[in-house]
Amino acid sequence: MTKILHNVSLTLIFVVLLSPMLLFLFPLIKVKNLQGAITLITATDAAQGGWYDESFQKNKEKYLNQEFGFRNTLVRLNNELYYRIFCIAKAKGVIMGKEGYLFEETYINDYYGINFIGQKKIDENVARLTKIDSVFKTLNKTLLIVFAPGKASFYPEYIPDNYKRVGKETNYKGYRKSVQQSGINFIDFNEYLLANKGKTSYEQYPKTGIHWSDYAAIIALDSINKKLASIRNYKPVQIYWTEIVDNKDSVSTVDSDIENGMNLIFNINKPRMSYPVLKYEERNKQKPTVLNIGDSFYANVFDKDIPQKLFTNAGFAFFSQIKSPFLQGTQDVGNINLKEFIDKHDVIILMCTEGTIVNFPFEYDKKLARIYCASELDNEAYAQKIESVKAQIKATPEWLKKVTKKAVAKNISVEAMIAEDAEYSVNNP
């Protein structure tokens, strides 16, 4: 009997040890794929080269490490143990908040102003957008800036104490102030959601996701639609619902996207979410041509084809990657004629949230300014060169002495002579 138990135990040990290799060679059991920003390694063939510089061997090693049997299950088990026992999220940039609320670190950083780029830089960016807005108005185009909500702003009470800071200036506050003073049309959904926190029948922000809920996103898109109709004076498509799916087991992948990226074995307990079943009234309505430039907060509704119902040829630029009916597939902004593309649109929306506002407006202020405000930018650049040379004259004693003698000879002020000399130097490099 002892010998039998010994043999059985030994056999089980060998089966466990060999099971990863057996599953790799004979993939009879389907293992659930890992989610998140994962770059998969593709195996290379020895015939393709790389044998002598060891690149083939290194690639093969990484590939085998990625593909061995039950790897994904073991990764999930490891992540599950860290989450349940140590309250640590084994996912890049994910922060475990109080009561199980999940955050991304970039949102917390902006909420406390850790990544504040400075009011001067913000004002410069908005100044360019203001000039673009002025030109757009002469072309019967509309520029709309949209501030999407941020989870750190919406749920500051769940931010871990060790991440809390004392900060007054943030990119969000700076941009909101500057945009409001500029006169550019804008909507602030961060402010709107906070004002309605706890007052709605449905969740506006999910516990284990980073984006606004489907319900909040649809409300926001409807508000954008009505705002544009008010600005451009047209009758918009009406969006409404007669049914809302309200089921704890139907939390979408978007509403649990942080949780999904953690790759756990068991789901995190969370409030049920609500999903409106949308209908549209399109008869005798007008649809402007709209391009939204922004982040994944708009991608979620764009992928559900909601903007496509409200607007004509609705397009979306996920930063530099543009998807539009005017283009074949998804194109990089650097590979298209941007002016011809923008000219086809009635409305340009620039949208950001806490996590991306540090990079707002994603270089499009400079791109569009070069296209639509070239002469004005040339004048600005010329004036900056003049000021730079004037500063050099004042900082160079010998040069300043010569300019002072010229001023006496011409019977003008030294300051006027400095300006004259600077202009001559710029025009005759």
Does any domain span residue 286? yes
pTM beyond 0.85: the answer is no
pLDDT of residue 245: 80
* Same domain membership, residue 321 and residue 214: yes
pLDDT of residue 6: 63
Does any domain span residue 219? yes
Does any domain span residue 396? yes
Q: What does DSSP say about strands 330-332 and 312-318: parallel, antiparallel, or unpaired?
A: unpaired
For 374-428, the pLDDT digits (tens) are: 776 566 776 788 888 889 999 999 999 988 988 888 788 888 889 888 877 876 6
d(CA 97, CA 245): 28
Range of the domain at 63: 33-67
pLDDT of residue 27: 62
For 225-252, the pLDDT digits (tens) are: 999 999 999 999 999 998 888 755 555 6
Determine contact, residues 221/310, Cβ cutoff 8 Å.
yes
* Same domain membership, residue 344 and residue 399: no
Does any domain span residue 390? yes
For 59-107, the pLDDT digits (tens) are: 766 766 666 667 787 888 899 999 999 889 998 999 999 999 999 999 9
Q: Where are the beta strands (DSSP E) in 92-150?
A: 94-96, 102-104, 142-147
Domain end, chosen from 372, 397, 419, is at 372
Band (219; pLDDT cuts 50, 70, 90)? very high
For 155-200, the pLDDT digits (tens) are: 999 999 999 888 789 999 999 999 999 999 999 999 999 999 999 8
Does any domain span residue 77? no
Greater model confidence, 35 or 3: 35
Determine contact, residues 51/59, Cβ cutoff 8 Å.
no
Burial profile 284-315: b = 16 or more Cβ within 10 angstroms, e = fewer: eeebbbbbbbbbbbbbbbbebebbbbbbebbb
* Same domain membership, residue 367 and residue 345: yes
* Same domain membership, residue 347 and residue 237: yes
Asked if pLDDT for residue 281 goes beyond 90, the answer is yes
* Same domain membership, residue 21 and residue 57: no
Does any domain span residue 79? no
| Stretch 25-31: mean pLDDT | 61
* Same domain membership, residue 330 and residue 278: yes
* Same domain membership, residue 185 and residue 230: yes
Determine contact, residues 92/37, Cβ cutoff 8 Å.
yes
Asked if pLDDT for residue 19 goes beyond 60, the answer is no
Q: 3-state secondary structure string, 152-208? A: HHHCHHHCCHHHCCCCCCCHHHHHHHHHHHHCCEEEEHHHHHHHCCCCCCCCCCCCC
The DSSP secondary structure of 348-394, one letter per residue, reads: EEEEE-TTTGGGTTTTHHHHHHHHHSHHHHHHHHHHHHHHHHHHHHH
Does any domain span residue 88? no
* Same domain membership, residue 395 and residue 254: no
Percent of residues in the chain assigned helix, strand, coil, to nearest 5: 55, 15, 35
* Same domain membership, residue 288 and residue 166: yes
CA distances from 219 to 49, 154, 257, 316, 369 (A): 55, 16, 20, 19, 32
Q: What does DSSP say about strands 321-323 and 330-332: parallel, antiparallel, or unpaired?
A: antiparallel
Q: Nearest to residue 361, comparing CAs of 112, 127, 173?
A: 127
* Same domain membership, residue 333 and residue 401: no
d(CA 341, CA 293): 13
Domain count, the chain: 4
* Same domain membership, residue 149 and residue 51: no
pLDDT of residue 14: 57
pLDDT of residue 141: 97
> Could you check whether the bond before residue 156 is cis, i.e. omega within 30 degrees of 0?
no
* Same domain membership, residue 203 and residue 119: yes
pLDDT of residue 419: 85
Taking all residues of the chain, what is their mean pLDDT, rounded to a whole number?
Answer: 87
